[in-house]
């Protein structure tokens, strides 16, 4: 069995792994990336990108439905789900090609196959061995199994992107952003959607103020929130039967499990390298993404950190490579200033602390401001789309430590405000900024 030595061996060609590999190579390191699947990981192939394309299709359906209010006599348009899938697949193929070109252009060797540790420095991929002076594990996460009777009958978020036709009746199991996003897409395109929350509120990790508005938004788009949990699945009349803990059942064309993902460490044989896992099976790392074995690192979803977001993995990978091979100082990621967006209808955006988090830490030094309004885009249509904004501030100078938005444009406006908040903006800074009228963003700088 032949063995090659690399300065940096990266297991996983998702967003974090590719970012780290390319950055390390730019510093002159000899780099190998090991990947058995398509390049780009979950985000590019089964997550952010195809999800956003599907969301754009759903938003187009909403625009068509609202066109009459603006004077357009638009006939009811039938959506072709297969056409959307083919166009989406072509774009994902294009991105995979670009990733391959990027690695090749940086002289990163792409090794196809599954890696496992033989010892702390040696990886085995089929009949091949690689020695890494430094090794990065960036294998992401996999779908959490639905462990109830008949749970294997449920589709997953991965399966959503393989559908040729849109199911007319859909059950969505879960209360997080994946369930909310996929449920919203189906509903906007015309499906009947029941979302089984299992006793939780939708988007429970967001500020409660936003959660209240979000429940209303789901109802407006046609997603029926059911507090019940699902206890059993079975084949039903032409589809699937869902049994809830309320001793009721309903039949659907498709059932989707969206109960989260778990770190993808199976088969890596990390024990051979002395790498420690936590109780959830995630790789334990410090704030600089280093394991207890000093030359082995991990970034992204495989670490089980709270912010399982593509830009976080990319930033972590690049900062790690800059430190290891470019002589850059350590730059830990501040977990409290990571912006995130849910592509729902309308979208939800958040950066910083929620009010409960802020009060638990700072008590009465916290002050909040809220606003609810109807955006101008809903002024002429029957089904109004409401919006809401909340600021969380700290201390006498009212430094902004949290911004939470639901409404049209929340996804785009949040990025700029996240920069301002990271730089220490206060409520007065926002108050003295001239608003752009009429926009959703102006509400952020005009709250009394």
Confidence (pLDDT) at 389: 98
Confidence (pLDDT) at 92: 98
Residue 410, CA distances (Å) to 218, 283, 363 in order: 16, 33, 28
- Residue closest to 268 by CA, chosen among 370, 138, 379: 138
254: helix, coil or strand?
strand
When the candidates are 2.30.38.10, 3.40.50.300, 3.40.50.1360, 3.30.390.30, the CATH number that belongs to 346-445 is 3.30.390.30
Convert the pLDDT of each residue in 166-184 to its tens digit. 999 999 999 999 999 999 9
Confidence (pLDDT) at 271: 97
Alpha-carbon distance of 219 to 211, in angstroms, equals 13
Confidence (pLDDT) at 2: 65
Confidence (pLDDT) at 23: 98
All CATH 3.30.390.30 domain ranges in the chain, comma separated: 346-445
Confidence (pLDDT) at 71: 95
The CATH superfamily holding the domain 3-143+262-335 is FAD/NAD(P)-binding domain (3.50.50.60)
Alpha-carbon distance of 242 to 250, in angstroms, equals 5
Q: Which residues are catalytic?
A: 437
Confidence (pLDDT) at 263: 97
Residues of the chain with confidence (pLDDT) below 70: 1-2
Q: How many helices (H) and strands (E) does the chain have?
A: 11, 22
Residue 96's CB is within 10 A of a number of other CB atoms, namely: 16
Confidence (pLDDT) at 12: 98
When the candidates are 3.50.50.60, 3.40.50.2000, 3.40.50.1820, 3.30.70.640, the CATH number that belongs to 151-259 is 3.50.50.60
pTM of the model: 0.94
All CATH 3.50.50.60 domain ranges in the chain, comma separated: 3-143+262-335, 151-259
Alpha-carbon distance of 131 to 262, in angstroms, equals 28
């Amino acid at each position: 069995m032949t063995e090659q030595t690399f300065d940096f061996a990266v297991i996983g060609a998702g967003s974090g792994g590719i970012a780290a590999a390319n950055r390390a190579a730019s510093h002159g390191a000899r780099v190998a990336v090991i990947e058995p699947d398509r390049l780009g990981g979950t985000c590019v192939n089964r997550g952010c990108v195809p999800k956003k394309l599907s969301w754009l299709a759903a938003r187009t359906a909403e625009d068509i439905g609202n066109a009459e209010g603006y004077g357009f006599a638009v006939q009811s348009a039938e959506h072709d789900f297969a056409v959307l899938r083919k166009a989406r697949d072509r774009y994902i193929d294009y991105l995979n090609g670009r990733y391959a070109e990027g690695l090749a252009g940086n002289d990163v060797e792409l090794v196809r196959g599954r890696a496992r540790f033989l010892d702390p420095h040696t990886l085995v991929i089929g009949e091949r061995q690689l020695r890494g002076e430094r090794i990065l594990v960036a294998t992401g996460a996999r779908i959490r199994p639905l462990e109830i009777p008949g749970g294997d009958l449920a589709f997953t978020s991965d399966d959503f992107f393989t559908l040729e036709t849109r199911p007319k009746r859909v059950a969505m199991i879960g209360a997080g952003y994946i369930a909310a996003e996929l449920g919203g897409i189906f509903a906007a395109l015309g499906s009947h959607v029941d979302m089984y929350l299992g006793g939780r509120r939708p988007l429970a990790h967001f500020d409660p103020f936003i959660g209240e508005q979000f429940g209303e938004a789901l109802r407006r788009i046609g997603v029926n929130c059911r507090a019940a949990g699902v206890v059993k699945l079975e084949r039903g009349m032409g589809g699937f039967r869902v049994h809830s803990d309320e001793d009721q059942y309903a039949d659907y064309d498709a059932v989707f499990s969206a109960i989260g993902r778990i770190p993808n460490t199976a088969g890596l044989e990390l024990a051979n390298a002395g790498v420690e896992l936590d109780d959830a099976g995630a790789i334990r790392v410090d704030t600089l993404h280093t394991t207890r074995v000093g030359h082995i690192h991990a970034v992204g979803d495989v670490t089980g950190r709270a912010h399982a977001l593509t830009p976080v993995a990319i930033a972590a990978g690049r900062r790690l490579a800059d430190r290891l091979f470019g002589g850059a100082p350590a730059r830990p990621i501040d977990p409290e200033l990571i912006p995130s967006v849910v592509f729902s209808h309308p979208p939800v955006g958040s950066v910083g602390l929620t009010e409960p988090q802020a009060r638990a830490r700072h008590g009465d030094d916290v002050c909040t401001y809220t606003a609810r309004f109807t955006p101008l885009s809903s002024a002429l249509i029957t089904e109004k789309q409401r919006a809401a904004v909340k600021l969380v501030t700290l201390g006498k100078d009212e430094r902004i430590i949290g911004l939470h938005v639901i409404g049209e444009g929340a996804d785009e406006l949040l990025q700029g405000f996240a920069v301002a908040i990271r730089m220490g903006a206060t409520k007065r800074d926002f108050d003295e900024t001239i608003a752009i009228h009429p926009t959703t963003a102006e509400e952020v700088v005009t709250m009394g």
